[in-house]
Structure 1
Amino acid sequence: MAGLAEYELEQGQEGAVLTLSGPYLVSTIGEVDEELRDLEGPIAKVDLANVSEIDTVGAWVACQIAGEHEAEIVGASDRAKRLLGALEGLSGDYDIAAPRAPVWERVPESVGEKVFNARSGAIGVVSFLGALIFSLARLARHPRNFRMVALVRQVELVGVSALPIIGLMSFLIGIVIAQQGAVQLAAFGAETLTVNLVGRITLRELGVLMTAIMVAGRSGSAFAAEIGTMKLTEEIDAMRTIGISPMEALVVPRILAAVLMMPLLGFYASCMAIIGGAFVGEIMLGIPFFTFLSRIQEVVPTYDVWVGMIKAPVFGLIVALAGCYHGMQVKGNSEEVGLRTTMSVVSAIFAVIVLDAIFAVFFTELGWG
């Protein structure tokens, strides 16, 4: 059929001759490719005299057939000879996948690489923190440069907009703590100590800790994604070009908003958890709702409230710092935005939990245990 690649295998005096005819192009060779691969028996010659057109794919097929059967290529046109010359010496026997080292080599190598990269990451964080302190000092000297509108906007996003989800989460956590605590304490006849359990654990630990984790997942990731997108679209470079400091315009308002709002959100979360515990106390333990709340004031030491309030701004600083730092590290492509956003959330939550453990030991040593 005209316009299609064809072939014919004939027996000659010197052996079998494979005659190719028609256009042997990438668009036409698919019709006969599988049949040519399945040819059996020794072939002495591959005749290209009747090939009307040929490209690299057609020349590659001819070379493969000739190589498999140790055949001679004859009747090639000038173009075919150039293509065959370019393909001479090439082989298709290549590994599809790159060689992979055994697991006992890959794991130590991967761990060592991560440890080595952690050094540059730590240096980057310290440098970023230094730039932040420098920007705050410069704003203290020139208060007119401070962007109050940006701060108010970030306070709204970090704090006000987060009230519903943090309130609901804390309320449910308070219910769970009170219900599970009451069940376990009932075995010792100490159900009334559920008030102590709910009050102390929420005001001292869980209220602020869970709020920090929620802010990291909600606002910290938003910081990284927003700043990372601006870095990718070269908006940050444009700000530097016109004399605007990205640290002062983007980073400082976000970090201040997180630091200012975390104590308020943490206290709000603790109150909602206590309210949730009070509902369980009235339903399961028969403790009146307002009696439960008044007992909180009696059994929870004042220093438990201060412990939570001291930790809150530090957690807010860590969360905002992680989000802004990873956002400023975005480069290359849009995939980096998602990667850095994930890294900001993971690193912030990890740092918050480690710091919480350090605070627990520190305040216990102070006698606030």
Structure 2
Amino acid sequence: MSAAVDLSEDAGTLRVSGALTLSNLGDLPHRLAAHDRSVKAVDLSAVERMDTIGAWVIHRFARERGARIEGLSGEREHLFKQVEDADQPVAMRPRRIKPLERVAGEVGEATITAFRTLYGLLGFLGATVIAFYNVVRHPGRFRFNATVHRFEVVGVSALGIIGLMSFLIGIVIAQQGAVQLRQFGAEAFTINLVGRITLRELGVLMTAIMVAGRSGSAFAAQLGTMKLTEEIDAMRIIGVSPMEALVLPRTLAAVIMMPLLGFYASLIAIIGGGLLCWWQLEIPPVTYVARLREVVPITDLYVGLIKAPVFGAIIAIAGCFQGMQVEGDAEQVGTRTTSAVVQAIFLVIVIDAFFAIFFERIGWL
């Protein structure tokens, strides 16, 4: 039954009766539109039932005519109040934000995100240490095969690309150093430059960057995919700790392999620098090696070997942490993988700066 609309002739009041519901409205909007603007009030006291659509139709009619609505009970008055609050103009364009305000907002959001990520990384580091302690207490829970497999993925498979990169870096350092030192007649000090900078800094640092881009991203993508397919949740249900089964083998592999890869990269870089010195500066290999033994202190090797496992731990923890944060959809895997690489490289460079200050203070120059 459609709502009956009557207009009293003497007082300009439109009285509505019947059921103001979606199924009974019929052509009510057209009948309301046929009334002229002499309507001053709408009386709803005779309405039997009313839903949101019926209330909105009457509210729109009263708003267009400038009429008041009468005969509302408590519940119906609350319904019309909700309809009135919702009937607001929609802004088609966002509020224009001043450039300074936008920049300040973005900086603030980035700062908050950075501190939250650092807090999460510290918590994840603590969970990894606890998992390592539990494995030490119960050696039978150690995943030996998984760890050895990660040795191959992180270390053996990376020998080719790291060797090529280090060889070219050694050549570039020697060539640029020779060009600059030739101005002062000090080409022989190119050997000092190549030996010290590769063993102390560039060998392990460039290796860490390469491992972060290669293995850190793989850790994030692998764990992220497992998180998305609920494999990690399934492991928890059957009583297997993901920290012990997934995170710990990857972390141990990165920590153990990084010193070996760093030493290997430094050695290849020195060989590359030696070949360039032999070809361009006519320094024989025997003289090159003898000069290296004279000018490169053993502490430079110690510095590189001390920094390498720390860099490996940072890379593995950043990659695994970002992988465990994946949720929602597959796009998160790519986003978290990118974040893992960026965070790992950033933290490696920051920690390397702290190491430089520390070793300078203790006299390992």
Normalising by structure 2, we get a TM-score of 0.75
Residue 196 (str. 1) matches residue 192 (str. 2): yes
Selected match of 2:341 from 338, 345, 348:
345
2:180 maps to a residue whose letter is Q
How far, CA to CA, are the matches of 1:97 and 1:231 in structure 2?
38
The CA deviation string for residues 26-83 of structure 1, in whole angstroms up to 9 with x for no partner, is xxxxxxxxxxxxxxxxxxxxxxxxxxxxxxxxxxxxx9xx9xxxxxxxxxxxxxxx9x
What's the CA shift for 1:320?
A: 0.7
Structure 2 portions without partners, runs of 5+: 1-29, 34-53, 65-86
Residue 232 (str. 1) matches residue 228 (str. 2): yes
- Counterpart position of 2:109: 113
Residue 264 (str. 1) matches residue 260 (str. 2): yes
- Counterpart position of 2:327: 331
1:240 maps to a residue whose letter is R
CA shift in 2, pair 1:97/1:163, >3 Å:
farther
Identity of aligned residues (%): 62
How far, CA to CA, are the matches of 1:256 and 1:124 in structure 2?
20
Q: Secondary structure at the match of 2:363?
A: coil
Structure 1 portions without partners, runs of 5+: 1-62, 67-81
- Counterpart position of 2:357: 361
- Counterpart position of 2:177: 181
Selected match of 1:139 from 116, 135, 149:
135
- Counterpart position of 1:322: 318
- Counterpart position of 1:168: 164
Residue 154 (str. 1) matches residue 132 (str. 2): no
How far, CA to CA, are the matches of 1:289 and 1:243 in structure 2?
59
2:278 maps to a residue whose letter is E
- Root mean square deviation, CA, Å: 2.6
- Counterpart position of 1:286: 282
How far, CA to CA, are the matches of 1:290 and 1:95 in structure 2?
78
2:236 maps to a residue whose letter is R
What's the CA shift for 1:248?
A: 0.4
What's the CA shift for 1:292?
A: 1.4
Residue 127 (str. 1) matches residue 123 (str. 2): yes
How far, CA to CA, are the matches of 2:162 and 2:149 in structure 1?
19
What's the CA shift for 1:119?
A: 3.2
Paired residues for 1:54-69 under 5 Å: none
- Counterpart position of 1:244: 240
Q: Secondary structure at the match of 1:274?
A: helix
What's the CA shift for 1:290?
A: 3.4
How far, CA to CA, are the matches of 2:192 and 2:113 in structure 1?
45
Normalising by structure 1, we get a TM-score of 0.74
How far, CA to CA, are the matches of 1:199 and 1:120 in structure 2?
40
How far, CA to CA, are the matches of 1:140 and 1:100 in structure 2?
59
The CA deviation string for residues 159-182 of structure 1, in whole angstroms up to 9 with x for no partner, is 000000000000000000000000
How far, CA to CA, are the matches of 1:218 and 1:331 in structure 2?
23
How far, CA to CA, are the matches of 2:199 and 2:228 in structure 1?
41
1:321 maps to a residue whose letter is I
How far, CA to CA, are the matches of 2:180 and 2:116 in structure 1?
48
- Counterpart position of 1:52: none
The CA deviation string for residues 115-165 of structure 1, in whole angstroms up to 9 with x for no partner, is 223333232222211111111111001101100000000000000000000
Q: Secondary structure at the match of 1:308?
A: helix
